[in-house]
Structure formats: structure tokens, C-alpha cells
Amino acid sequence: MRRAGLVGVPRLRPWSWQAFLFGFVVVAASAVLQGVCVALGAKLYFAAFLPSLFVLGIVAGVPAAVFAALLTIPLVWWAFIPPFFEFTALSSANADSVNLFCLLAVLVIGLADLCRASMTINRRGGLKSSGESAATNSQ
């Protein structure tokens, strides 16, 4: 029986240069998508970046996703928070947006790492039985 998984999705080694290059490309593509959203009037500065961090965490691993998250913060600050294309002091609302992004990025990257680990376990045939289940009472 074939197990479910991300069929056809290449997985990169977590600390390889390809993973970090893929992280850079994902941030650039997310910035283009975020630019379209801002042009349409959206005020959610990090909206396009969170789903891409999840996909990046599954495909390339935690180090590349953390790299992308750290790259995203100054990019959004510079390009999407008014005044555009300038580094100015953040207002308290914008600082809260950055802090919320950091919190959500940690949670999303952690979830992606758990998904990546479960796919690895699934690909190897699942968990092996050790003879006795922890749920059974041997009294």
C-alpha cells in the first residue's frame, strides 16, 4: 500500500546552499505577491510571507525558513511600511505587526518542521511496534 505524501515535491537538504537560494527566491516571489496586494489596498504587511514560510519549511527545512523570516522583516520594513522605500522609526502599531510576524513565523516554521518529520517517518514505513503499547495496562 502506498503512503500519502507530497508526491513530486523535491526536498532539499536543510543546510545546503540550494535550500538558502530557494529561501531567497521564495521571499522574492512573496514580495511580488505582497506588492500586488498592497497595490490593491491591503494593509496586511506580512500576509503573503507566512504561507510561503510554511511551504519553505517543508521543502527546504528549518534553517532556510528562519533565513527567509529574518530576510522578510527588513524587506517589509523598507518596501511595504509607509513611507515606502525608506527605513524610518516604526510606530507602535508597525512594531506590533513585526512582533506578531515573529511569533507566527516561529509557530509556522515549527509546524512545517513537524510535518517534514512526519513525512519522513511515513516514507520509512511508519513507526515500528516495540511489542508492547504504552496504552495497554499490563496489570
Residue 11: the pLDDT is: 81
Measured over the CA atoms of residue 131, residue 133, residue 136 and residue 139, the dihedral's sign is positive
Domain ranges of the chain: 17-123
Mean pLDDT of 7-35: 89
Sequence letter at residue 78: W
Residue 138: the pLDDT is: 58
pLDDT tens per residue, range 63-94: 999 999 999 999 999 999 989 899 999 999 99
DSSP category for residue 131: S
Question: pTM for this one?
Answer: 0.82
Average pLDDT, the chain: 88
Helices 92-123, 62-79: inter-axial angle, 10-degree rounding: 160
Sequence letter at residue 74: P
Residue 7: the pLDDT is: 57
Measured over the CA atoms of residue 123, residue 124, residue 125 and residue 130, the dihedral's sign is negative
Mean pLDDT of 30-55: 93
- Over 50: is that where the pLDDT of 1 sits? no
Contact 53, 68 (CB under 8 A): yes
Q: Comparing C-alpha atoms, which of 107, 53, 99 is closest to residue 77?
A: 99
